[in-house]
Structure 1
Amino acid sequence: MVTRTARPADLPAVLALVRQHRADAHAEDVLTGHTSLNAAASGFRRLLEDPGHRVVLAVLPGPYASDGAAAGEVAVGLAVLGVDPLSLVLGNPQVTVDTFVVDREHRRRGVGAVLLAAAAAYAQEAGAAHVVAAAGGHEAERQRFFARMGFAPLATRRIVTVESLGRALSSWQRGGVPLPAPRRPVGRRRPVARGLTA
């Protein structure tokens, strides 16, 4: 198994991996991926040409492909790597693993490890000291894998449709959604009233 940078002709393999990942995450209704092939190809080309990103495929080459074919290769994993723009502004570049997919038929065979090795190599090229990977709260297997690889919890990401966000903002502007109350700082206690008896 090897990793390589994706090429425009890899679009069908990339889309197949992304759709499988979305199905596994039960996220088809959130991120459908149903777009015209021309639009997908155009967006994929832009991603491949973006100097701030690298699309990496893990592939089984030639005779080692699962179908036994002597020619061609089978894509079994995908990672979309990037350099976090704010980390550059702060002078401490971080590489992000924005998309991380291992084909369900090839899990527990080292695909994730070779993708992370590609992320580490990309981080060294970018002069980054950290790699940040996202995993949903429902993705227990992925959470365990990243933990085994030394990743520590960092943040929770949430998603909303623009339509739902627009409704929430309209309601807030009309005064229908209260602002969250400020939280008390951790470690401070309420003063205890003294001298009062029941």
Structure 2
Amino acid sequence: MARTGSRSRVVARTARPADLPAVLALVRQHRADAHAEDVLTGHTLVNAAASGFRRLLEDPGHRVVLAVLPGPYAADGAATGEVAAVGLAVVGVDPLSLVLGSPQVTVDTFVVHRDHRRRGTGAVLLAAATAYAQENGAAHVVAAAGGHEAERQRFLARMGFAPLTTRRIVTVESLTRSLTSWQRGGYPVPGPRRTSAARRRPVTRSLSA
């Protein structure tokens, strides 16, 4: 698979096992930009990472797409050599959307190298996601962006993405503590919220004769 943008020499292709170092570097940058506490270090267990990466590449429900900058002698986007990997997207079909009979493609990871932004890399990755959606008969593409990622939010809005939902994250350890406290009665189960109209509705009292 290869896609090029009319405004960019960047090419999108399916990742290969040998791309693991480039993928880890892009993910490391993404987590650092997101101020994630558990940013991947340079001491990642290579065997474990390679094994997980191979499983992801072999997963029929996902495709790992790399945006690469072709070498200086490449013509018409047919890379005879690559300068660097400058972007990453992991696309897949949402399982629930299949159950509902309306497939949606999700962009689970979307990274553009900070030195190659505003150069068409993001558009090339989204073109690859669009092609994947068409291959799978999906009518929609869903991409996630954190509330702090203003630049990505603006980019997706320019590309026509509309707000859909809010995603929250918690560590398993923290969630386990919360659930334990709830089971002990520490957190009452919230009752149904009354609408504002219901709260404002006057109480009608019946008067006996």
> Which letter does structure 2 place at the counterpart of 1:171?
S
Q: Name the CA distance, whole Å, in 2 between partners of 1:115 and 1:150.
A: 15
Structure 1 residue aligned with 2:26: 17
Q: Name the CA distance, whole Å, in 1 between partners of 2:200 and 2:49.
A: 57
Report the TM-score, using the length of structure 1 for normalisation: 0.90
Change (3 A) 1:150 1:188: farther
> Which letter does structure 2 place at the counterpart of 1:43?
G
> Which letter does structure 2 place at the counterpart of 1:97?
V
| 1:141 corresponds to 2:151 | yes
Q: 83, 94, 115: which is aligned to 2:125? A: 115
Q: Name the CA distance, whole Å, in 2 between partners of 1:119 and 1:51.
A: 15
| 1:48 corresponds to 2:62 | no
Deviation per CA, 1:97-138: give whole Å up to 9, x if none.
000000000000010001000000000000000000000011
Note the C-alpha offset of 1:187.
Answer: 5.1
| 1:160 corresponds to 2:170 | yes
Structure 2 residue aligned with 1:184: 194
Structure 2 residue aligned with 1:98: 108
Change (3 A) 1:160 1:64: farther
Structure 1 residue aligned with 2:44: 35
Deviation per CA, 1:26-75: give whole Å up to 9, x if none.
01x1454663011000000000000000000111011179xxxx843310
Q: Name the CA distance, whole Å, in 2 between partners of 1:151 and 1:186.
A: 31
Change (3 A) 1:71 1:124: closer
Q: Contact 2:68/2:82 (CA < 8 Å) preserved in 1?
A: no
Note the C-alpha offset of 1:194.
Answer: 6.7
Q: Which runs of 5+ in 2 are unaligned?
A: 1-9, 75-79
Report the TM-score, using the length of structure 2 for normalisation: 0.85
Tell me the C-alpha RMSD between the 2 structures. 2.0
Specify the SS of the correspondent of 2:90.
strand
> Which letter does structure 1 place at the counterpart of 2:62?
H
Q: Name the CA distance, whole Å, in 1 between partners of 2:194 and 2:68.
A: 51
Change (3 A) 1:121 1:71: closer
